[in-house]
Structure 1
Amino acid sequence: MVFMFLFLVAMGGNLDAQSFIKTNTGIKTSINGLNYELEIFKPDLIRVNKRPADLKLKNSSLSVIRQADPKVYFEVLDQNDLLTLKTDSLKINLDKINGSISFFSNNGQLLLKESPGSIRMKKDEGADRGYYNARQGFELLPSEVLYGLGQQQNGNLDQRHQTNLLVQGNTKVSIPFFQSTKGYGLFWDNYSPTVFKDTLNIVSFTSEVSSGIDYYFMKGNTTDAVVRQMRFLTGNAPMLPLWVYGYNQSKERYKTQFELLDVVKKYRQLKVPLDGIIQDWQYWGDDQHWNAMQFDSTTYPRPRSMVDSVHQLHAHLFVVAWPGFGPKTKQYKEFGQKNMLLNFDTWPPKAGAKIYDVYNPKARDLYWSYLNKGVFSLGVDAWWLDSSEPDHLNEKESDFDEKTFLGTYRSVRNAFPLEHISGIYDHQRKLSDKKRVVILTRSAFAGQQRYGANTWSGDITSNWPTLKRQIPAGLNFSLTGLPYWNTDIGGFFAGEFQKGGGAKNPAFQELYTRWLQFGTFMPMMRSHGTNIPREIYQFGHKGDRIFDILEKYIKLRYHLLPYIYATAWNVTSNGGSFMRPLQSDFKSDPRVAKISDSYLFGSSILVAPVTEKREITKDVYLPKGINWYDFWTGKQLPGGSVDKRAVPLDIMPIYIKAGSILPWGPDVQFATEKKWDDLEIRIYPGADGTFVLYEDQNDNYNYEKGAFSEILMDWDDHAGTLTIGVTKGNYPGMLKTRRFHLVIVDGSAKGTGVERSPKFNKTVIYTGKKIVVKLR
């Protein structure tokens, strides 16, 4: 049989439907003129590739970094018209007559089935000659809810019943991946414009340029499990430095180094916490010198001194870089001479700027050489990589025929941000391991999490409907496997509020306050926008209502840092997520699958942002199966109920799961001001629970070599005891002794709200050895 297969391949023919070979990692066969290959990456993760006989198998992927695993045990059964591949987790049936594939769990439950006759392979006769327009359909149950597709601005958590052209845009991140409430995910590995369509319970992907149908099916019993599968396939997210989880201030734009420094100084004078300050565009001068990657000598006369001053104020500096260059820059000339520019219009309008070929590794080398020499070498801490989708002005179909290093621009269009961001991450990592790479960027593609990237939702408008849409947009983005996401707090375009006094306009103040409350529970808390400056002092003075509310939530963010950093470690070490739909933990509750106005932040906190103007009360559904605590009052509420929560302007509904253990950080002006040697530990009784307190050196990659510590805390609700385990791990500068103030939240003043508790149940001194504390 093997000889026959090799003979047919050599002769340019195909295996017939009755023939197959078993490989080390799966099976190969041929049906109806298409060569099939099923490859096993894990017992519950399978690659499916179908290609015309005249095309070779695509062995490499821009997103996928794993290979099929020959160590996985599997069986192949050939019975009548079915070819069956079985692992310990899945059974895959291949219909030898019509070529459709069905995926079953090992208990026989049908998870997903290809729609028979839904394959389309149409040869491209244009610039992508030799490739195909490819389509594959899948049959879904009417009851299935789908999540994913990246960051979509349609306002829905459920992505069913729509036609969506998946291309990158300013406020749209397109990733051809979805996961289902039935417990599986599907990644369509293609980078060209792709139509996702759901009609009459047939979901399909159709890609403009393809070397065949190439997708990955992954089983996962929960949304978190599917995300872990995607991370396994496309890479883990590295730890970001502790400081970046604090508060970050920006605007469009600081125009001199003195203006930028004054912002940091004012925050320090006001004693409002701040960790990051962001320098947006045109620090290089006029648009002809767009993205020159050097500071204009008039407005930024001493850039190194500026960076040093930011650091002396215990803050960190982001600097913007774009993928395009103005015609009077050195970069434009050198990239052009080396044929590394793509010839279509990009931002800014009418400036003649062109983007570089991010798909070319030598172009990425050259890009970094300029960025390092002109910016990073000054001591800059982080990147604001704008227009990474990228901006495409005066768009013409012929623009997509432009040749890149990997083929036409059309064929790799959606992977632009992935390739661009990879160049900065890889080069900075090679240069130094002492400073973690931090990248804030406007677009993303599958696998980008492995490059320290944090995507923001683009230049969105400052209004209530847009605010509301950001919640499901962020959740679906996270559900594709990318954990780091944020928005411009207040929305980017705020022009409609300027006439009413800008930051003093009561209407904008209300919107901004609600948005900042939401931002407190994003993976990154960052204020930014145009038209109206967003620094806290623009909204008033200490003692003024709006100022005090904004300060309250910024301080809340800093008290949460031990919890947030532990969540970040779970993201890195266990494929976890920050923003999680209620479905993640409560899939047995039929009411939660489509809830899009509240979500879980980490494992313990449920937040319900206020997204309606002048809202007085907000109905918040609390998933059944566990009791909940109102964060502000400590009142215990039953799961499966709706809390009609009063929401005065200073209150956003926040709930904590029974059984949660929350470490409460100290009052600080910046993230690393104080060590965590004097923590309040809030315990929410009603269920057993655990928490792992994670610490490392905060801003280097030594954690990858084992330089970190974990302290497991375990709450036994029946016994009323908290067990604090032996400290695991070690690193230079690690605390040897610390004080824990233990608080049982019970509806009194203990353990509620932002400020530390006035009373504790017990205080213990912890020296790294196991202790068991009886608390009731």
Structure 2
Amino acid sequence: MRRFSFFILLLLVTTKLLAVDTVETLQDGIKVHPKTGAAKTIEINVVNSQIIRVQASPENTIPQVTSLCVVPGLKPTVPFKVTKTTSFAQLSTKDITVKISLISGKISFTDKSGKVLLQEAKRTFSPLTVENDKGYTFQQVFSGTSGEAIYGLGQHQSDDFNYKHKSEDLFQYNTKVSVPFIISTKNYGILWDNYSQSKYGDPRDYKDLNQFSLFDKDGKEGALTATYTNKGSATIVRQESAIDYENLTTVKKFPVDFNFNNGSVVWEGSILSNNTDIYKFSLYYAGYTKVWLDGKLVVPERWRTSWNPNTFRFSFPLTKGKRTKIRLEWKPDGGVSYVGLKALSSSPIEKNGNISFWSEMGDKMDYYFVSGKNMDEVISGYRTLTGKASIMPKWAMGFWQSRERYKTQDELLNVVSEYRKRRIPLDNIVLDWSYWPENAWGSHQFDLKRFPDAKGMVDSVHKENTNIMISVWPKFYTTTAHFKQFNDKGWMYMQAVKDSIRDWIGSGYVGSFYDAYNPDAQKLFWKQMKDNLYVKGFDAWWMDASEPNIRDCTDMEYRKKLCGPTALGSSTKYFNAYALMNANAIYNGQREADNNKRVFLLTRSGFAGLQRYSTATWSGDIASRWEDLKAQIPAGLNFAMSGIPFWTMDIGGFCVEKRYGDSQLLFDKTGEENEDLKEWRELNLRWFQFGAFCPLFRSHGQFPYREIYNLAPEGHPVYKSLVYYDELRYRLMPYIYSLAGMAYHKDYTLMRSLAMDYTADQQTYGISDQFLFGSGLMVCPVYSYKARSREVYFPAGNRWYDFYSEKQIEGGQKLNIEAPLERIPLFVPAGTILPVGEVMQYSSEKKPDNIEIRVYKGKDGKFSLYEDEGNNYNYEKGAFSTIDFEYSNNKDILVINKRKGNFQGMLSNRTFRVVVIGKTNAAPKIVRYDGTKTIVRL
């Protein structure tokens, strides 16, 4: 018995010693070598008390790789405690406890109360070699938390919002911006630090329809019936087992005689599944497309222009052994168009509400767990990792006018002049692409026949108190001196040149993109911009095609060939971060050239960390369709909740259906407003009304022209409403610029889901068509033609005021709200303090010495009025001021606190006109404010 006890004791001691050997305490965390599982080595590093880094490798060491998105030099400044048992190691800060199994390597994260926030469920690695680049394909699955909503992942166009129980493919493409960060309503986030093509949720690819048993329209098994109709030609009927015409390679499978300009196709028949399941379908479309399943129109007509397809996803239940009728009608948009329909069975990851990140290639698995008391704190943690958001120049908060494109400098200058003559507010005019000679893309030279004096053009714009942004692409024709400068150093992607790919200009020219992953190439790119464009006085940069988009509509593997190899490794490994590297080039280049002028970049793509380069993103070449208008709301919200605060879109959509252009030409000729023109005007107005409450307010697109006075004649209801919302934007400038200041000083998010401010109300989690602009305005866009009302949900826990009528509505209910053509529903929560200024023609026209302070009764409220010089970086050195307003609802007192800080040009004395909303017969209070604490009794 004593001998048996001795052996038990020896076993326990040996087990304990083995456990100690598997855990190493580091200066900033612990390193663990689990006994089983996919990872041989796991490091858990403390960033601060709310942020934990996890690195995992199937090797015995963790590769040391410089992050592209996480800022360098993050050192733990908080204490942490490490404890160990025979089975687990535990690391604790004052806010988080991280527990790791020494057997499996699985990790869980709990808050200080012991509540589990997130825990790992499964980790896998598979070796992968691309060219001479070695790495791993890997996946991390987490057990999700019940009752949560998940947001983020960048900006996507399938009209998805809450990603709980959903999936998203993370790669960059025109209209698709992938940011590998999610945020939960349970107040945590995950930053997945990887640059390859990745997938959130289900990592499987969608499969062709031949995964089912197929039957043609007559019931014969084997395929669907495809009927090709060509105007003036014979109809082609053939059997097809897949609808897969999604890129330049697969479109070759169309019948040789099929005419995209005058043709249409119908696929019809039945599908039979071997399983009873809710299947996911992915429709890829360019042109006019509709889909029916079992006689139900599951995809009403959608449209995209021929060269820029979109993806739309939907689900449908299929029953084992039961045929489901299918019909897809497709009319190409002229020219080569694309269409595809694929499906996938449901995923256990989605069913269980799990969280999963999969990446095609990386040296190691690397992610950050970020926690906070609320969603704003989580986003603040994201910016701790990836960098502060700059304060954009104040003019950028005003209205921008653009079109594709101003073809001459006179055309551009006449637009600015017309805005000023009509007294319609304007802050920025944009010179889009092709200002260069036709054969000189990338030369940064102007076509002198159309732009004889670019410097004079810029000077003239400035004399009108307007700014000018210019489009610059990372693209160079082989004939330009700039291409040769890059090529001589080996800094160009050469696959497109080797393959003699010609673009769409004139007869077509050969060119390619520079390698933005090379630091020296970045410096050369900026030098070329500085020497040719910056010296002319341009104020801001429009970085187009920054995915990079070397050729439209290629398959993914060829896209990767065109985009590499990069200076850091294969394009497979570094596929998603090009826009971040390109933004770094211009931001740091301009700050080195002139550190007293704020940088402003607008880019068509983005990645985690983009905000630190004073860069905003727009949603790409979206279509001028109602469904695209609706999709921009969740797209913008998810992008903002990915931690990047400044986002915009082409108001009115970029790509235009032919019927709208024809109707405008008819109007120009006859003055007749036909039905298409009525719809065009209403579409643009509804989009404009929405855009007035986005972080950046910008109109752009193809013909018809987008200037306010070109959208409708003066006196027309559309014209009057366009001007109203433009002027309202400027009246709200004290509010908007304060939000912009908060984005830097407090890591704030301007465009907010309802769930961010009303997390306790789970009814808000799925609302994707309303949002908060700051916490003081709830915006409810209208996105249906001829809609004159819409359903609005009023979050619980507050009273709401109609912005226009001041009518009060109790929260916690859904109501149908009137939405006349001239207005969209707009509401203010009780407790809001809303500063409202005067109408201005440009953002710096008037000093804010006469601001109306609107106080909305019903709840205590706070607001901090932020001001600085508006155009330089002195705010980084402390040159700014804040005036804090505090309202006590019970005491009916507004306290205007002592002004904090100062800056050159600051107003020492000013007038506030305090207006109480929600109080009968309350006269405004005129307050002379000199910077000292003032109490206003209301």
Structure-2 separation of matches of 1:773 and 1:711: 14
Structure-1 separation of matches of 2:688 and 2:383: 30
1:657 to partner: Cα distance: 1.1
Partner residue in 2 for 1:4? none
Q: Cα deviation per residue 1:55-101 (whole Å; 9 max; x = unaligned)?
A: 64234211101545343211111113111111111111101111111
Paired residues of 1:25 and 1:72 also in contact (CA < 8 A): no
1:309 aligns with 2:460: yes
Partner residue in 2 for 1:178? 182
Counterpart residue identity of residue 359, structure 2: S
1:359 aligns with 2:492: no
1:625 aligns with 2:797: yes
Partner residue in 2 for 1:604? 776
Paired residues of 1:635 and 1:747 also in contact (CA < 8 A): no
Structure-2 separation of matches of 1:543 and 1:760: 34
1:17 to partner: Cα distance: 8.3
1:161 to partner: Cα distance: 2.8
- Which residues of 2 match residues 679-690 of structure 1 at below 5 A? 679-690=851-862
- Which residues of 2 match residues 634-649 of structure 1 at below 5 A? 634-649=806-821
Structure-2 separation of matches of 1:398 and 1:714: 58
1:97 aligns with 2:103: yes
1:209 to partner: Cα distance: 1.2
Distance 1:760 1:276, change over 3 A: farther
Counterpart residue identity of residue 34, structure 1: K
Secondary structure of 1:421's aligned partner: helix
1:524 aligns with 2:682: no
Partner residue in 2 for 1:426? 588
Partner residue in 2 for 1:755? none
Paired residues of 1:40 and 1:68 also in contact (CA < 8 A): no
Structure-2 separation of matches of 1:565 and 1:625: 27
What CA RMSD, in Å, does the superposition of the two structures yield over aligned residues? 1.7
Structure-1 separation of matches of 2:65 and 2:491: 26
The number of residue pairs the alignment matches comes to: 749
Paired residues of 2:512 and 2:550 also in contact (CA < 8 A): no
Counterpart residue identity of residue 60, structure 1: T
Could you tell which deviates more after superposition, 603-612 or 195-204? 195-204
1:347 to partner: Cα distance: 8.3
Partner residue in 2 for 1:414? 576
Paired residues of 1:55 and 1:211 also in contact (CA < 8 A): no
Q: Output the TM-score relative to the length of structure 1.
A: 0.94
Structure-2 separation of matches of 1:637 and 1:347: 59
Partner residue in 2 for 1:263? 415
1:472 aligns with 2:634: yes
Of 365, 383, 397, the residue aligned with 1:245 is 397
Paired residues of 1:344 and 1:392 also in contact (CA < 8 A): no
1:727 aligns with 2:899: yes
1:389 aligns with 2:541: no
Partner residue in 2 for 1:774? 937
Structure-1 separation of matches of 2:92 and 2:641: 27
Could you tell which deviates more after superposition, 574-583 or 202-211? 202-211
Structure-1 separation of matches of 2:733 and 2:85: 57
Paired residues of 1:18 and 1:96 also in contact (CA < 8 A): no
Distance 1:409 1:16, change over 3 A: farther
1:236 aligns with 2:236: no
Could you tell which deviates more after superposition, 614-623 or 564-573? 614-623
1:114 aligns with 2:120: yes
Secondary structure of 2:852's aligned partner: strand
Of 34, 43, 51, the residue aligned with 1:37 is 43
Structure-2 separation of matches of 1:768 and 1:321: 44
Partner residue in 1 for 2:485? 334
Paired residues of 2:71 and 2:387 also in contact (CA < 8 A): yes
- Which residues of 2 match residues 184-263 of structure 1 at below 5 A? 184-198=188-202, 199=349, 200-201=351-352, 202-263=354-415
Counterpart residue identity of residue 763, structure 1: I
- Which residues of 2 match residues 651-690 of structure 1 at below 5 A? 651-690=823-862
Paired residues of 1:121 and 1:135 also in contact (CA < 8 A): yes
Secondary structure of 1:91's aligned partner: strand
Secondary structure of 1:409's aligned partner: coil
Distance 1:329 1:387, change over 3 A: same
State the percentage of identical aligned residues.
40
Structure-2 separation of matches of 1:590 and 1:135: 30
Could you tell which deviates more after superposition, 564-573 or 60-69? 60-69
Secondary structure of 1:499's aligned partner: helix
Distance 1:685 1:396, change over 3 A: closer
Paired residues of 1:633 and 1:747 also in contact (CA < 8 A): no
Q: Output the TM-score relative to the length of structure 2.
A: 0.78
1:112 to partner: Cα distance: 0.8
Of 458, 475, 492, the residue aligned with 1:324 is 475
Paired residues of 1:128 and 1:209 also in contact (CA < 8 A): no
Paired residues of 1:509 and 1:546 also in contact (CA < 8 A): yes
Paired residues of 2:796 and 2:811 also in contact (CA < 8 A): yes
Partner residue in 2 for 1:140? 144
Counterpart residue identity of residue 186, structure 2: K
Q: Cα deviation per residue 1:632-667 (whole Å; 9 max; x = unaligned)?
A: 101111111223211111111111111111111112
Secondary structure of 2:469's aligned partner: strand
Secondary structure of 2:749's aligned partner: coil
Structure-2 separation of matches of 1:600 and 1:517: 14
Structure-1 separation of matches of 2:919 and 2:711: 33
1:16 to partner: Cα distance: 7.4
Structure 2 unaligned spans of 5+:
1-17, 203-348, 668-672
Paired residues of 1:155 and 1:473 also in contact (CA < 8 A): yes
1:617 to partner: Cα distance: 1.3
Paired residues of 1:741 and 1:760 also in contact (CA < 8 A): no
Structure-1 separation of matches of 2:872 and 2:834: 26
1:221 to partner: Cα distance: 3.0
1:125 to partner: Cα distance: 3.2
Counterpart residue identity of residue 477, structure 2: G
Structure-2 separation of matches of 1:440 and 1:549: 27
Secondary structure of 2:663's aligned partner: coil
Paired residues of 1:605 and 1:654 also in contact (CA < 8 A): yes
Secondary structure of 1:548's aligned partner: helix
Of 656, 659, 662, the residue aligned with 1:494 is 656
Distance 1:396 1:207, change over 3 A: closer
Secondary structure of 2:679's aligned partner: helix
1:561 to partner: Cα distance: 0.4
Partner residue in 2 for 1:551? 723
Paired residues of 2:446 and 2:454 also in contact (CA < 8 A): yes
1:466 to partner: Cα distance: 0.7
Paired residues of 1:166 and 1:175 also in contact (CA < 8 A): yes
Structure-2 separation of matches of 1:17 and 1:473: 48
Counterpart residue identity of residue 494, structure 2: N
Counterpart residue identity of residue 530, structure 2: N
Structure 1 unaligned spans of 5+:
1-14, 751-758
Partner residue in 1 for 2:560? 400
Paired residues of 2:189 and 2:369 also in contact (CA < 8 A): yes
Could you tell which deviates more after superposition, 44-53 or 139-148? 139-148
- Which residues of 2 match residues 278-317 of structure 1 at below 5 A? 278-286=430-438, 288-317=439-468
1:615 aligns with 2:787: yes
Structure-2 separation of matches of 1:85 and 1:461: 50
Q: Cα deviation per residue 1:150-194 (whole Å; 9 max; x = unaligned)?
A: 101121211133343211010001111111122210111000011
1:724 to partner: Cα distance: 1.1
Could you tell which deviates more after superposition, 519-528 or 700-709? 700-709
Could you tell which deviates more after superposition, 701-710 or 218-227? 218-227
